[in-house]
Amino acid sequence: MQVPRTVRIAIASDHAAFALKAELAVALAEWGHAVIDLGPFSDARVDYPDFGYALAQAVASGEAERGVALCGSGIGISIAVNRNPACRAALVSDPYSATLAREHNDANVIAMGARLIGPDQARACLSAFLAGPFAGGRHVARVAKLSHPTL
């Protein structure tokens, strides 16, 4: 089940996940969403933090409602996105984790690793992420604490 409306979704990667980004951008468009591709636009070597910060800014500003962050392992770009307190980036490698990320953490960014999971699994994770509702309830106060301004 997809989100039953057009969602503005930003997508960004590094060179290692360039091909996966292209595949997932096609899937998002097929599902009827508005895709904001933040690059890169070739597979030349880039630094994942640059693209993670750009994605985080797109979500923080409201330009995008959700984000998809990809790199070789998903680790580096997920760290970069989570530097921004407006983002809750969930690094996942299976659809159940993507569902939990929505249900418990109200995640607004999904991160995945192109070296670790294949394109079909990535598409299944993305679908679960977009379909999953936030459970609310006891999770609300915890999610609010993730926007804590001081550490």
Residues that bind a second copy (CB under 8 A): 45, 47-50, 53, 56-57, 60, 72-73, 75-76, 78-80, 82-85, 88-94, 96-97, 100-101, 104-105, 107, 113, 115-116, 138, 141-142, 145-146, 148, 151
Please indicate whether residue 125 is annotated as part of the active site.
no
* Nearest distance, CB of residue 76 and a second copy, angstroms: 5
Q: Which is nearer to a second copy, 36 or 114 (CB)?
A: 114
Please indicate whether residue 104 is annotated as part of the active site.
yes
Q: Which is nearer to a second copy, 8 or 104 (CB)?
A: 104
Exactly one of 33, 71, 87, 125 is catalytic; name it.
71
* Nearest distance, CB of residue 140 and a second copy, angstroms: 11
**33-37 long-range Cβ contacts below 8 angstroms, 24+ apart:** 33/3, 33/6, 33/7, 33/8, 33/9, 33/130, 34/6, 34/7, 34/8, 34/9, 35/9, 35/11, 36/8, 36/9, 36/10, 36/11, 36/63, 36/64, 37/10, 37/11, 37/12
Q: Which is nearer to a second copy, 25 or 36 (CB)?
A: 36
Q: Could you check whether the bond before residue 40 is cis, i.e. omega within 30 degrees of 0?
A: yes
Tell me how far apart the terminal alpha carbons of the chain are, to the nearest angstrom. 38
Catalytic residue ranges: 71, 104
